[in-house]
Every structure is written in C-alpha cells, then in structure tokens.
Copies of this chain bind each other. A is one copy, B any other.
Amino acid sequence: MRVVADVNVTPIGAGASLSSHIAACEEIIEEAGLKYRLHAHGTNLEGSWDEVMRVVKRCHDVLHERGAPRVDSAIRIATASDKDQSLEGRIDKVEQKID
C-alpha cells in the first residue's frame, strides 16, 4: 500500500532545542532511501506503509538513545484506491487550481 505521509517527531525531556534531534531523524529517512521533503512543522514522506512506519519507529528508537525519555509523533497518512499519489502530484494539483 503506497502512502503519502507527514511526520512530526517531538522528543520530550531533551531540552528546548529540537533541531539536532530532527536532523538525526532526517538522516534516518535519507538512509532508508525514501523520497522526503522537510517543512516547518514536519517532513512529507512517500513510500509503502511498512517503509514509512519502520522509519518513524526507528526515529523513536534513536531519539530515546539520544537521551529523550519521551517521544511523541504525529503522523498523517493518505492512501488512495482510485489513483497513484506522489508528493509533487498533491502539491501540483492544488497550485494548478489557484487563480
């Protein structure tokens, strides 16, 4: 099952600055070879359901190893049965309809 997802991972109890922790997650995504795009509140991801969930689970493991006692993630997952989806396709379709 192909998905277009959005993931926001928040380490809790590991200080106020999260950027280095989020950078560690971006490296996990890069290593997994998934198509991704960082934005100001998370990262868009494209891949199979299992690939995406394995990456997010790995982010939780790594952030715990980096010293965060609690990790919260907010994941959005979109699946479609009537068409193929892609990161770019979802954006292009909207932009084409903006007057």
Identify the A interface with B (CB < 8 A). 1, 4-6, 8, 10, 12-13, 15-20, 22-23, 26-27, 30, 37-42, 44, 49, 53, 56-57, 60-61, 64, 68-83, 87, 90-91, 93-99
Contacts and interface: CB of A to CB of B under 8 A. Distances in A.
A6 B40 contact: yes
Contacts of A18: 12, 70
Given A1-B60, A10-B10, A39-B39, A78 B70 contact: yes
Nearest to A56: B77
What does DSSP make chain A's interface, helix, strand, loop or mixed?
A: mixed
A75 B72 contact: no
Instruction: Count the copies.
Output: 4
A57 B1 contact: yes
A88 to B, nearest CB: 8
Contact of A57 (B5, B37, B49): B49
A38 to B, nearest CB: 6
